[in-house]
Chain A
Amino acid sequence: DGGITQSPKYLFRKEGQNVTLSCEQNLNHDAMYWYRQDPGQGLRLIYYSQIVNDFQKGDIAEGYSVSREKKESFPLTVTSAQKNPTAFYLCASSKDRVWGNTEAFFGQGTRLTVV
């Protein structure tokens, strides 16, 4: 079955540690996205990638890093520089057609808690 998979579902991090959230898709989509969701604030874009080996900062990229070495994979690292990392993180992918239908498919999310 085609889809987008995030892991782990729950993640606990000690202050000062880096953690990496996994996102894999088998939909053959070119574009992938990372969003952060906080209560009452909707989805805020962290990073996005429209092609392998290329990615752009979103609205809240500080304290995060990504890589796009393979079309299927877009891992997100939450670094110790991110001051308030506790949140729900959502990964998405789309066919990335500018001016076309960019319907996005979402993973089930990773809830990150700093302890």
Chain B
Amino acid sequence: GEDVEQSLFLSVREGDSSVINCTYTDSSSTYLYWYKQEPGAGLQLLTYIFSNMDMKQDQRLTVLLNKKDKHLSLRIADTQTGDSAIYFCALSSNTGKLIFGQGTTLQVKP
């Protein structure tokens, strides 16, 4: 079945870049997403990329997709303390379901 893997924790200093990685097994996904979850809240969509793209940039966010290696990454430039949260990658499956990774907790130190 579909599987999505993320590392659980990342710590960076304020002003540095953060790179959150995600690997997956289902190569048929047409859309891949990054969601952000702040403590005690639901998930908010940050950005998404269509599977025929290699890169998408949206202000401080850069998404890179390597379909050959089934690897998705989210880069946050100039990371701020307000970026501290859990970040989830998610894929649309061929049944229309969204499959989520375990989430990466990003800790930003001042």
Contact = CB atoms under 8 A, between A and B. Distances in A.
B42 A107 contact: yes
Contacts, number: 67
A48 to B, nearest CB: 6
A1 B69 CA distance: 41
B105 to A, nearest CB: 9
A42 B103 contact: yes
B96 A50 contact: yes
A7 to B, nearest CB: 13
Contact of A43 (B33, B41, B88, B96): B88
Interface range on chain A (Cβ under 8 Å from partner): 20 to 34
Nearest to A106: B42
Interface residues of B, number: 25
Nearest to B4: A42
A100 B42 contact: no
A97 B40 contact: no
Nearest to A90: B42
B53 interface: no
A104 B33 CA distance: 10
B98 interface: yes
B95 A94 contact: no
B40 A109 contact: yes
Interface string B3-16: 00010100000000
B50 to A, nearest CB: 8
Interface in B89-107: 90, 92, 94-98, 100-103
26 contacts: A31-B96, A40-B102, A42-B6, A42-B100, A43-B88, A43-B100, A45-B97, A50-B96, A58-B97, A90-B43, A94-B98, A97-B96, A99-B94, A100-B30, A101-B48, A102-B31, A102-B96, A102-B97, A103-B33, A103-B45, A104-B45, A104-B98, A106-B35, A106-B42, A106-B44, A109-B40
